[in-house]
Amino acid sequence: MGTHYLVDQFHAPVGSSSLIDVRTPSNGQSLVNGAFVVRVPGGVSVKNPVDLSDLLTKKYAGLLTFYAGFQFIVWDDMLDAAGVDLANVSGVVLGDRSTNGLQANGTLLQSVVVPLGSSPTQAIVTWECFTVGDVDPAGGRLERTYTEVAASSYTCEVSFDNGANYNPVLDGGVLNIPVPEQGSNFIIRFANGGTKTFIGSWSVVF
């Protein structure tokens, strides 16, 4: 499980949004009325972030440190759909402030091409996903709950040669990139065989 930073749902610009609360839930759940969650994985150190932009910078710097031996990290915390290739999606949910995801069964979400600046021979790919559940009693206010779900809820493939070849990856596993497929233009894509699920983030360490 990770640490949940609850972020103001309505502030603009989003990068300067306030951090409302910090929680370490034992069951992966947080009540998020009026906020959205940025999850920091277990084992990643983040100290005293002042706003959302600072939190994200420290989150991914910490994740790079966690995977010792690698030098670079590229990421998308999926706060909006700017990093989604709209020509290669099917059955997706797209929005702002952590509302990007996939509908159930056989859907596809693919990133735009992401330049890496070098051609790695190895990489580690990670991603986070979650569900949102609402309880709306007739005599009370709506309660919205964020729940972490296993990264294995998605199948994931990555390309390092501009989409010419794709390799399946497991969350946090080391991928030895075949020599003919090594390149500096990264694409990640997800498929979902289960219920509707949102993508909290993805990253590639290399």
- Residues 47-66 have a mean pLDDT of 97
Task: Please report the sign of the dihedral spanned by the C-alpha atoms of residue 122, residue 118, residue 126, residue 81.
Answer: negative
pLDDT per position as a tens digit, 102-138:
998 889 999 999 999 999 999 999 999 999 998 877 7
**Cβ neighbours around 33 below 10 Å, total:** 11
Kindly give, in sequence order, each residue whose CB lies less than 8 Å from that of residue 176, ignoring residues fewer than 6 positions away.
121, 122
Given pLDDT bands bounded at 50, 70 and 90, which one contains residue 151?
Answer: very high
Of the pLDDT bands very low, low, confident and very high (cuts 50, 70, 90), residue 10 is very high
Residue 26 has a pLDDT of: 83
pTM beyond 0.85? yes
Helix or strand or coil: residue 128?
strand
Record the tokens describing residue 46, joined without a space.
């983040």
Task: Single out the residue of 157, 163, 153 nearest to residue 195, CA to CA.
Answer: 153
CA distances from 75 to 78, 131, 145, 194, 205 (A): 9, 21, 25, 24, 9
Tell the residue number behind the tokens 């009325």, with chain if given: 33
Token look-up 């370490």 returns 24
Edge-to-edge order in the sheet of strand 3-8 = 19-23, 3-8, 35-40
